[in-house]
Amino acid sequence: MCGIVGYIGNRQAAPILLDGLSKLEYRGYDSAGIAVYNGEKIDMVKARGRLKVLGELSHGGEILPGTVGIGHTRWATHGSPSDKNAHPHFNKDSSIVVVHNGIIENYLKLKKKLERKGYEFVSETDTEVIAHLLDYYYTGNPLQAVTKIMHRMEGSYALGIIFRDHPDEVYAVRKDSPLIVGHTDDGSIIASDVPAVLKYTRNVYFIENEEIVRLTREDMEFFTVDEEPIEKTPVKIDWDINAAEKGGYEHFMLKEMYEQPKAITDTFSPRIKNGKIVIEELGMSEEDIQSIRKIMIVACGSAYHTGVTSKYIFEDLARIPVEVDLASEFRYRNPILDAGTLVLVISQSGETADTLAALRESKKRGARVLGIVNVVGSSIAREADNVMYTWAGPEIAVATTKAYSAQLIALYLLAMKFANIRGILPDEGLSRMLEELRALPCQVEMLLNNKERIQRFANRYLAAKDIFFIGRGIDYAISLEGSLKLKEISYIHSEAYAAGELKHGTISLVEKGTLVASVLTQRELYKKMISNMEEVRTRGAFVLAVTNEGNTEVERVADYVIYIPETNKYFTNSLAIIPLQLFGYYISVGRGCDVDKPRNLAKSVTVE
């Protein structure tokens, strides 16, 4: 989604802004812009399209000299992607300039009021309202103007603001949209996400809701919305800077797929001690675990798919009833929760607006919330009662792979721990499962090394119109993710179905040559799946099967088979997803799509 970078210091601002924005490109955007104070006035360049366009227009930032500036990559919400809707936005005499992430929900009402007072709007954005509103309230004191607009605006916002008449200051404000600030060697920097600042500082302050920061070259001061000063402590970011670079791979997605063995190991190994699963950060005693009456899992996209997988595991292995819901549905459906419900919110970014709102809703209703989060210090990580981190490292490609794999591991660990403590999974059973868990990284690597075969297969389907994925039980959950991986980066229409559901309508879409990817890793469901595969094959489908080694019976009904190594029945998702990720990836590459930054998508969806 949108990205913000701001700088004030002793160096030229524009190159730092362009560099910082380039580190946020992965978040998804359709236009970009920068504004720099040149010692007299604020200059701005902005344009629809990629940062390359902005870089060319501004000659790498050279035509915007100055040491104070703000920049933005915009993912359109209000108003189409265009030059005029791109950020930054000015007030009427260009003395105040603003960049904004989020949505001002009452912007139409504010816009009408401002128009009645004579303000003219040049864009269709909600952000321009902020610039004019600041203008309206500004009487010489920027902090006061900022707090005044905060009282008037509803919705979510992270803002970077410069006032021409206070050229030695940059203002940063946050409500429900992430923002960090930090000192560099020669100044201060703001950004909406960590990768943009890694090159300049490792010590950052996470701005909390309704906090304001005044940055100068040497200093930064924090205030509440009542203009009260606040003390804050910086957090050290340990990310390896190379982790946010491509490191020789053609795409971040490919690199991140190859990082899956490490992400899996890093997520389980610190939590296995003396043959037991120790999750210190869980903050739950054995009695707490025994008294869980229901688990409610809430997430979006791929994180939701890991939730669907884990429902089968929690229920079958630990005998705990589980509900899984999409965060965007859950938050408005008056869910039934109580103190006996453990809510698991799963999120790579920790900033997904719907998931964050679901977390807040759950807490309000008295449930205990455990966040399973990848980005350290993110909003969900900070607001959950407890947080279990997935140690996947920074994930840049919009299509998640390694964070997804790490989420699965976190959920397996929880399910095994709960089952063990509740007396359903004895210690010997747990030890066997831990052995199988330890084998996963090597098995994933083996599957990744088979990539050429998948690429050859993918090349046959570059022109496909529709591709279906089918499975039962956990295999249905794998199908959901396989299908999403394919469609989000290749733009080929694809759906996943519970295989038994096909004949209730969808089978009418199957025609000669339609590719039906069938996942069958659950032994007790093999026969049922084989019947479903036969049904589609008789109707002309080309059947791809992803199944366990040794299940050769499948060759009778499949046109192409990919075998995965033997593992525990609960862990098959971790293996079966690898060829499906590779399939989506190679189709996307073969079709010449923008693999890492697919159209219309954002890495972190901070608006609902």
Distance, CA of 300 to chain centre: 9
If the CB atoms of residues 133 and 484 are measured against ligand M6R, the closer one turns out to be 484
| Binding test (CB under 6 A) with ligand M6R, winner from 170, 604, 606, 607 | 604
User: How crowded is residue 564: how many other Cβ atoms within 10 Å of its Cβ?
Assistant: 24
Distance of alpha carbon 246 from alpha carbon 25, whole angstroms: 13
DSSP class of 207: P
Distance of alpha carbon 2 from alpha carbon 292, whole angstroms: 39
If the CB atoms of residues 53 and 601 are measured against ligand M6R, the closer one turns out to be 601
Q: How many CA atoms lie within 13 A of 424 on its CB side?
A: 16
Q: Are 467 and 494 in contact (CB under 8 A)?
A: yes
Active site residue 442: no
The region of 125-133, 195-203, 346-354, 408-416 touching ligand M6R under the rule CB under 6 A is 346-354
**174 strand-pairing partners:** 158, 211
Question: What is the closest distance, in whole angstroms, from the C-beta atom of residue 407 to ligand M6R in the complex?
Answer: 8
The region of 31-39, 191-199, 295-303, 570-578 touching ligand M6R under the rule CB under 6 A is 295-303
- Give residue 237's region: left, alpha or beta (phi > 0; psi -120 to 50): beta
The region of 158-166, 342-350, 360-368, 558-566 touching ligand M6R under the rule CB under 6 A is 342-350
Question: What is the closest distance, in whole angstroms, from the C-beta atom of residue 191 to ligand M6R in the complex?
Answer: 17
For residue 607, state whether it binds ligand M6R (rule: CB under 6 A): no
For residue 522, state whether it binds ligand M6R (rule: CB under 6 A): no
For residue 193, state whether it binds ligand M6R (rule: CB under 6 A): no
Please state the φ and ψ torsions of residue 130, each to the nearest 5 degrees.
Answer: -65, -45
Alpha-carbon dihedral angle through residues 256, 260, 262, 265, given to the nearest 10 degrees: 150
Question: What is the closest distance, in whole angstroms, from the C-beta atom of residue 489 to ligand M6R in the complex?
Answer: 8
Question: What is the closest distance, in whole angstroms, from the C-beta atom of residue 125 to ligand M6R in the complex?
Answer: 23
For residue 568, state whether it binds ligand M6R (rule: CB under 6 A): no
For residue 548, state whether it binds ligand M6R (rule: CB under 6 A): no
Q: Is 243 helix (H, G, I), strand (E, B) or coil?
A: helix
Closest CB to ligand M6R belongs to which residue? 301
Q: Are 343 and 362 in contact (CB under 8 A)?
A: yes
Distance of alpha carbon 445 from alpha carbon 564, whole angstroms: 11
Beta-carbon contacts of 565 under 8 Å, excluding residues fewer than 6 positions away, are: 443, 446, 447, 548, 549, 575
Distance of alpha carbon 409 from alpha carbon 403, whole angstroms: 10
Based on the number of CB atoms within 10 Å of its own CB, is 191 exposed (0-12), middle (13-18) or buried (19 or more)? buried
The region of 188-196, 312-320, 343-351, 430-438 touching ligand M6R under the rule CB under 6 A is 343-351
**547 strand-pairing partners:** 520, 563
User: What is the size of the binding site for ligand M6R (CB under 6 A)?
Assistant: 17
- Six-digit token pair at 351? 């900033």
If the CB atoms of residues 26 and 205 are measured against ligand M6R, the closer one turns out to be 26
Please state the φ and ψ torsions of residue 564, each to the nearest 5 degrees.
Answer: -115, 150
Question: What is the closest distance, in whole angstroms, from the C-beta atom of residue 284 to ligand M6R in the complex?
Answer: 23
If the CB atoms of residues 399 and 447 are measured against ligand M6R, the closer one turns out to be 399
Q: Which of 255, 402, 451, 603 is catalytic?
A: 603
CA-based radius of gyration for the chain: 25
**Residues between 352 and 381 that touch ligand M6R (CB under 6 A):** 352, 355
If the CB atoms of residues 169 and 176 are measured against ligand M6R, the closer one turns out to be 176
For residue 300, state whether it binds ligand M6R (rule: CB under 6 A): yes
If the CB atoms of residues 326 and 439 are measured against ligand M6R, the closer one turns out to be 326
If the CB atoms of residues 110 and 605 are measured against ligand M6R, the closer one turns out to be 605
Question: What is the closest distance, in whole angstroms, from the C-beta atom of residue 600 to ligand M6R in the complex?
Answer: 11
If the CB atoms of residues 48 and 487 are measured against ligand M6R, the closer one turns out to be 487
Active site residue 2: yes
Question: What is the closest distance, in whole angstroms, from the C-beta atom of residue 410 to ligand M6R in the complex?
Answer: 12
Alpha-carbon dihedral angle through residues 470, 472, 475, 480, given to the nearest 10 degrees: 50
For residue 91, state whether it binds ligand M6R (rule: CB under 6 A): no
Pairing of strands 68-74, 3-9: antiparallel
For residue 265, state whether it binds ligand M6R (rule: CB under 6 A): no
Q: Which of 2, 111, 402, 417 is catalytic?
A: 2
Question: What is the closest distance, in whole angstroms, from the C-beta atom of residue 598 to ligand M6R in the complex?
Answer: 8
If the CB atoms of residues 303 and 370 are measured against ligand M6R, the closer one turns out to be 303
Question: What is the closest distance, in whole angstroms, from the C-beta atom of residue 299 to ligand M6R in the complex?
Answer: 6
If the CB atoms of residues 400 and 548 are measured against ligand M6R, the closer one turns out to be 400
**Residues between 482 and 511 that touch ligand M6R (CB under 6 A):** 484, 488
- Six-digit token pair at 158? 């992270």
Look up tokens 């799509």; give the residue: 593
Look up tokens 């001002």; give the residue: 104
Q: Are 591 and 577 in contact (CB under 8 A)?
A: no
If the CB atoms of residues 128 and 256 are measured against ligand M6R, the closer one turns out to be 256
Provide the residue type at 435 as one letter: E
Q: Is 543 helix (H, G, I), strand (E, B) or coil?
A: strand
Summarize the chain as % helix, strand, coil (round to 5): 40, 25, 35
- Six-digit token pair at 384? 């959950």
Question: What is the closest distance, in whole angstroms, from the C-beta atom of residue 303 to ligand M6R in the complex?
Answer: 4
Look up tokens 């960049």; give the residue: 99
Interface mask (CB under 6 A) for ligand M6R, residues 388-417, using x and -? ----------xxx-----------------
Pairing of strands 515-520, 542-548: parallel
Question: What is the closest distance, in whole angstroms, from the C-beta atom of residue 289 to ligand M6R in the complex?
Answer: 25
Q: How many CA atoms lie within 13 A of 607 on its CB side?
A: 21
For residue 177, state whether it binds ligand M6R (rule: CB under 6 A): no
| Binding test (CB under 6 A) with ligand M6R, winner from 95, 201, 347, 606 | 347
For residue 303, state whether it binds ligand M6R (rule: CB under 6 A): yes
Site residues (vs ligand M6R, CB under 6 A): 300-303, 347-349, 352, 355, 398-400, 484, 488, 601, 604-605
- Active site residues per annotation: 2, 603
